[in-house]
Structure 1
Amino acid sequence: MTVGPRGISRDEIRDLVHEYYVQPYGTRKEWLASQPVTEWTFRKWRRMIQEGDLDRNLIPREHGNMARTNGEWSAFERARAKEIAQHQSDVEQLKSRVRELEGTNEALGKAIGLLHGLSVPEPDTAPTNDPKSSSKPRTSSSGT
Protein backbone atom coordinates (compact mmCIF):
# COMPACT_ATOMS: atom_id res chain seq x y z
CA MET A 1 0.00 0.00 0.00
CA THR A 2 1.52 3.28 -1.05
CA VAL A 3 1.13 6.42 0.98
CA GLY A 4 -0.13 9.66 -0.46
CA PRO A 5 0.38 13.24 0.61
CA ARG A 6 -0.01 14.14 4.29
CA GLY A 7 0.62 10.53 5.39
CA ILE A 8 -2.80 9.36 4.17
CA SER A 9 -2.79 6.02 2.35
CA ARG A 10 -4.31 5.53 -1.09
CA ASP A 11 -7.06 3.34 0.40
CA GLU A 12 -7.92 6.03 2.94
CA ILE A 13 -8.14 8.59 0.14
CA ARG A 14 -10.50 6.30 -1.80
CA ASP A 15 -12.64 5.78 1.31
CA LEU A 16 -12.72 9.54 1.95
CA VAL A 17 -13.91 10.26 -1.61
CA HIS A 18 -16.47 7.45 -1.32
CA GLU A 19 -17.81 8.93 1.95
CA TYR A 20 -18.05 12.33 0.26
CA TYR A 21 -20.34 11.02 -2.47
CA VAL A 22 -22.53 9.14 -0.01
CA GLN A 23 -23.25 12.31 2.01
CA PRO A 24 -26.83 13.60 1.65
CA TYR A 25 -27.43 16.49 -0.71
CA GLY A 26 -26.54 19.85 0.82
CA THR A 27 -24.28 18.47 3.56
CA ARG A 28 -21.12 17.78 1.57
CA LYS A 29 -19.53 21.19 2.13
CA GLU A 30 -19.88 20.96 5.92
CA TRP A 31 -18.69 17.35 5.87
CA LEU A 32 -15.64 18.33 3.81
CA ALA A 33 -14.85 21.20 6.20
CA SER A 34 -14.71 18.68 9.07
CA GLN A 35 -12.11 16.55 7.25
CA PRO A 36 -8.32 16.89 7.78
CA VAL A 37 -7.63 18.08 4.20
CA THR A 38 -8.22 21.28 2.29
CA GLU A 39 -10.94 21.54 -0.30
CA TRP A 40 -8.33 22.00 -3.03
CA THR A 41 -6.47 18.81 -2.05
CA PHE A 42 -9.72 16.91 -1.85
CA ARG A 43 -10.77 18.05 -5.33
CA LYS A 44 -7.39 16.95 -6.68
CA TRP A 45 -7.81 13.50 -5.07
CA ARG A 46 -11.36 13.26 -6.38
CA ARG A 47 -10.26 13.97 -9.94
CA MET A 48 -7.42 11.46 -9.64
CA ILE A 49 -9.86 8.76 -8.54
CA GLN A 50 -12.58 9.62 -11.03
CA GLU A 51 -10.60 10.19 -14.16
CA GLY A 52 -6.93 9.72 -13.48
CA ASP A 53 -4.65 7.38 -11.64
CA LEU A 54 -4.38 7.83 -7.89
CA ASP A 55 -1.58 5.28 -7.53
CA ARG A 56 0.67 7.22 -9.93
CA ASN A 57 -0.59 10.73 -8.98
CA LEU A 58 -1.90 11.41 -12.49
CA ILE A 59 -4.67 13.91 -13.14
CA PRO A 60 -6.16 13.96 -16.65
CA ARG A 61 -6.45 17.00 -18.81
CA GLU A 62 -9.84 18.55 -19.39
CA HIS A 63 -11.62 16.49 -21.98
CA GLY A 64 -15.09 17.94 -22.07
CA ASN A 65 -18.03 15.62 -22.64
CA MET A 66 -16.23 12.47 -21.55
CA ALA A 67 -16.13 13.56 -17.91
CA ARG A 68 -18.90 12.30 -15.65
CA THR A 69 -21.06 14.71 -13.70
CA ASN A 70 -21.23 14.86 -9.92
CA GLY A 71 -24.73 13.35 -10.09
CA GLU A 72 -23.41 10.35 -12.00
CA TRP A 73 -20.61 9.87 -9.49
CA SER A 74 -23.06 10.17 -6.61
CA ALA A 75 -25.29 7.50 -8.14
CA PHE A 76 -22.26 5.29 -8.73
CA GLU A 77 -21.08 5.69 -5.13
CA ARG A 78 -24.58 5.05 -3.73
CA ALA A 79 -24.76 1.85 -5.78
CA ARG A 80 -21.29 0.92 -4.54
CA ALA A 81 -22.35 1.57 -0.93
CA LYS A 82 -25.42 -0.62 -1.43
CA GLU A 83 -23.27 -3.37 -2.92
CA ILE A 84 -20.80 -3.16 -0.02
CA ALA A 85 -23.65 -3.34 2.50
CA GLN A 86 -25.07 -6.41 0.72
CA HIS A 87 -21.63 -7.99 0.69
CA GLN A 88 -21.19 -7.36 4.43
CA SER A 89 -24.63 -8.84 5.09
CA ASP A 90 -23.71 -11.95 3.08
CA VAL A 91 -20.44 -12.26 4.98
CA GLU A 92 -22.26 -12.06 8.32
CA GLN A 93 -24.74 -14.73 7.21
CA LEU A 94 -21.92 -16.99 6.12
CA LYS A 95 -20.05 -16.42 9.39
CA SER A 96 -23.14 -17.38 11.39
CA ARG A 97 -23.59 -20.49 9.22
CA VAL A 98 -19.94 -21.43 9.81
CA ARG A 99 -20.41 -21.04 13.58
CA GLU A 100 -23.54 -23.19 13.38
CA LEU A 101 -21.76 -25.89 11.40
CA GLU A 102 -18.76 -25.81 13.74
CA GLY A 103 -21.12 -26.34 16.68
CA THR A 104 -22.77 -29.24 14.87
CA ASN A 105 -19.37 -30.69 14.03
CA GLU A 106 -18.29 -30.46 17.67
CA ALA A 107 -21.51 -32.15 18.85
CA LEU A 108 -21.05 -34.94 16.31
CA GLY A 109 -17.47 -35.43 17.43
CA LYS A 110 -18.61 -35.79 21.03
CA ALA A 111 -21.34 -38.24 20.02
CA ILE A 112 -18.87 -40.34 18.06
CA GLY A 113 -16.53 -40.34 21.05
CA LEU A 114 -19.35 -41.56 23.31
CA LEU A 115 -20.27 -44.30 20.84
CA HIS A 116 -16.67 -45.46 20.74
CA GLY A 117 -16.67 -45.52 24.53
CA LEU A 118 -19.84 -47.64 24.60
CA SER A 119 -18.67 -50.11 21.98
CA VAL A 120 -15.43 -51.11 23.72
CA PRO A 121 -14.88 -54.82 23.00
CA GLU A 122 -15.32 -57.31 25.86
CA PRO A 123 -12.11 -58.79 27.23
CA ASP A 124 -11.01 -61.89 25.37
CA THR A 125 -11.64 -65.33 26.94
CA ALA A 126 -8.67 -66.91 28.60
CA PRO A 127 -6.59 -68.85 26.08
CA THR A 128 -6.27 -72.58 26.64
CA ASN A 129 -2.91 -74.26 26.91
CA ASP A 130 -3.94 -77.50 25.19
CA PRO A 131 -4.64 -77.24 21.54
CA LYS A 132 -7.59 -79.53 20.95
CA SER A 133 -7.70 -81.61 17.85
CA SER A 134 -10.66 -81.16 15.63
CA SER A 135 -10.55 -84.76 14.45
CA LYS A 136 -12.66 -87.52 16.02
CA PRO A 137 -11.02 -89.55 18.78
CA ARG A 138 -9.64 -92.94 17.72
CA THR A 139 -10.93 -96.13 19.14
CA SER A 140 -8.73 -98.90 20.40
CA SER A 141 -10.50 -101.52 18.34
CA SER A 142 -8.13 -101.17 15.45
CA GLY A 143 -5.62 -103.13 17.43
CA THR A 144 -2.94 -100.68 17.85
Structure 2
Amino acid sequence: MTVTERLTLTEAEWKERLSPEAYAVLRKEGTERAWTSPLYEEHRKGTFVCAGCGTPVFTSDMKFDSGTGWPSFFTSLPGAFETKSDRKFFMTRTEYHCAKCGGHHGHVFDDGPAPTRQRWCNNGVALRFVPDGEKA
Protein backbone atom coordinates (compact mmCIF):
# COMPACT_ATOMS: atom_id res chain seq x y z
CA MET A 1 0.00 0.00 0.00
CA THR A 2 1.27 3.44 -0.87
CA VAL A 3 -0.42 6.57 0.38
CA THR A 4 -0.88 8.85 -2.61
CA GLU A 5 -2.88 11.68 -1.09
CA ARG A 6 -2.48 13.21 2.37
CA LEU A 7 -5.50 14.06 4.50
CA THR A 8 -5.10 17.58 5.85
CA LEU A 9 -7.68 19.06 8.22
CA THR A 10 -7.71 22.08 10.52
CA GLU A 11 -7.43 21.52 14.27
CA ALA A 12 -11.13 22.41 14.57
CA GLU A 13 -12.01 19.77 11.96
CA TRP A 14 -9.90 17.15 13.78
CA LYS A 15 -11.61 17.99 17.08
CA GLU A 16 -15.00 17.57 15.43
CA ARG A 17 -14.00 14.29 13.76
CA LEU A 18 -12.31 12.59 16.75
CA SER A 19 -13.25 11.80 20.34
CA PRO A 20 -11.31 13.86 22.91
CA GLU A 21 -9.22 10.76 23.75
CA ALA A 22 -8.42 10.01 20.09
CA TYR A 23 -7.59 13.68 19.47
CA ALA A 24 -5.13 13.71 22.41
CA VAL A 25 -3.29 10.68 20.99
CA LEU A 26 -3.54 11.15 17.22
CA ARG A 27 -3.04 14.92 17.05
CA LYS A 28 -1.13 15.75 20.28
CA GLU A 29 1.05 12.60 20.53
CA GLY A 30 -0.46 11.53 23.84
CA THR A 31 -0.51 8.00 25.26
CA GLU A 32 -3.59 6.21 26.54
CA ARG A 33 -3.36 4.31 29.83
CA ALA A 34 -2.33 0.67 29.49
CA TRP A 35 -5.09 -1.96 29.70
CA THR A 36 -7.86 0.54 28.78
CA SER A 37 -8.40 -0.33 25.10
CA PRO A 38 -10.92 -3.03 24.18
CA LEU A 39 -8.72 -3.68 21.13
CA TYR A 40 -6.09 -5.22 23.42
CA GLU A 41 -8.40 -8.25 23.71
CA GLU A 42 -9.54 -8.22 20.04
CA HIS A 43 -8.86 -11.65 18.53
CA ARG A 44 -11.20 -11.83 15.53
CA LYS A 45 -9.88 -11.91 11.96
CA GLY A 46 -9.87 -8.52 10.32
CA THR A 47 -8.03 -5.27 9.68
CA PHE A 48 -7.03 -2.47 12.01
CA VAL A 49 -7.43 0.95 10.40
CA CYS A 50 -6.30 4.41 11.48
CA ALA A 51 -9.05 6.01 13.59
CA GLY A 52 -8.20 9.36 12.04
CA CYS A 53 -8.56 8.53 8.35
CA GLY A 54 -9.51 4.86 7.88
CA THR A 55 -6.23 3.81 6.28
CA PRO A 56 -5.51 0.09 6.82
CA VAL A 57 -2.42 -0.19 9.03
CA PHE A 58 -2.35 -3.74 10.50
CA THR A 59 -4.06 -7.10 10.01
CA SER A 60 -5.14 -9.40 12.82
CA ASP A 61 -2.47 -11.88 11.69
CA MET A 62 0.19 -9.33 12.71
CA LYS A 63 -1.14 -8.96 16.28
CA PHE A 64 0.39 -10.69 19.31
CA ASP A 65 -0.02 -10.55 23.08
CA SER A 66 2.87 -8.46 24.34
CA GLY A 67 1.68 -8.35 27.94
CA THR A 68 2.11 -4.56 27.90
CA GLY A 69 -1.54 -3.50 27.98
CA TRP A 70 -1.48 -1.95 24.51
CA PRO A 71 -2.42 -3.62 21.21
CA SER A 72 0.87 -4.85 19.74
CA PHE A 73 1.89 -6.05 16.30
CA PHE A 74 5.10 -7.59 14.93
CA THR A 75 4.91 -5.59 11.68
CA SER A 76 2.67 -3.13 9.86
CA LEU A 77 1.18 -2.96 6.40
CA PRO A 78 3.75 -1.62 3.89
CA GLY A 79 3.61 2.16 3.53
CA ALA A 80 1.06 2.62 6.34
CA PHE A 81 3.38 4.55 8.65
CA GLU A 82 6.23 7.03 8.67
CA THR A 83 8.73 6.91 11.54
CA LYS A 84 10.81 9.49 13.37
CA SER A 85 13.07 9.64 16.41
CA ASP A 86 11.40 10.57 19.69
CA ARG A 87 13.84 11.89 22.29
CA LYS A 88 11.31 12.67 25.03
CA PHE A 89 11.66 11.19 28.52
CA PHE A 90 15.48 11.04 28.43
CA MET A 91 15.65 8.21 25.88
CA THR A 92 15.51 7.72 22.13
CA ARG A 93 12.60 5.74 20.73
CA THR A 94 11.14 5.28 17.26
CA GLU A 95 7.73 6.91 16.98
CA TYR A 96 5.34 6.17 14.13
CA HIS A 97 2.59 8.20 12.47
CA CYS A 98 -0.06 7.37 9.86
CA ALA A 99 1.36 8.11 6.40
CA LYS A 100 -1.98 9.53 5.23
CA CYS A 101 -3.19 11.78 8.07
CA GLY A 102 -0.05 12.12 10.20
CA GLY A 103 -1.81 10.77 13.29
CA HIS A 104 0.43 9.50 16.10
CA HIS A 105 -0.08 5.80 16.80
CA GLY A 106 2.74 4.70 19.09
CA HIS A 107 6.33 3.47 19.20
CA VAL A 108 8.17 0.53 17.67
CA PHE A 109 10.61 -1.47 19.81
CA ASP A 110 13.09 -4.25 19.04
CA ASP A 111 11.74 -6.72 21.62
CA GLY A 112 8.99 -8.44 19.65
CA PRO A 113 8.56 -12.00 18.38
CA ALA A 114 9.90 -13.65 15.24
CA PRO A 115 9.95 -13.13 12.35
CA THR A 116 10.70 -9.40 12.78
CA ARG A 117 11.66 -9.09 16.46
CA GLN A 118 9.70 -5.82 16.40
CA ARG A 119 6.88 -4.69 18.71
CA TRP A 120 4.66 -2.00 17.22
CA CYS A 121 3.08 -0.75 20.44
CA ASN A 122 -0.11 1.04 19.39
CA ASN A 123 -2.56 3.20 21.27
CA GLY A 124 -5.89 1.42 20.87
CA VAL A 125 -7.78 4.72 20.60
CA ALA A 126 -5.77 5.46 17.44
CA LEU A 127 -7.22 2.34 15.78
CA ARG A 128 -10.56 1.04 14.61
CA PHE A 129 -11.10 -2.68 14.00
CA VAL A 130 -12.92 -3.88 10.88
CA PRO A 131 -13.84 -7.59 11.01
CA ASP A 132 -13.28 -9.63 7.85
CA GLY A 133 -16.28 -9.33 5.55
CA GLU A 134 -17.26 -5.83 6.73
CA LYS A 135 -16.50 -2.51 5.03
CA ALA A 136 -14.17 0.00 6.62
TM-score (norm 1): 0.21
Compare the two structures and name the one with the higher helix fraction. 1
Higher RCO (CA < 8 A, seq sep 6+): 2
More strand by share: 2
**Structure with greater Cα Rg:** 1
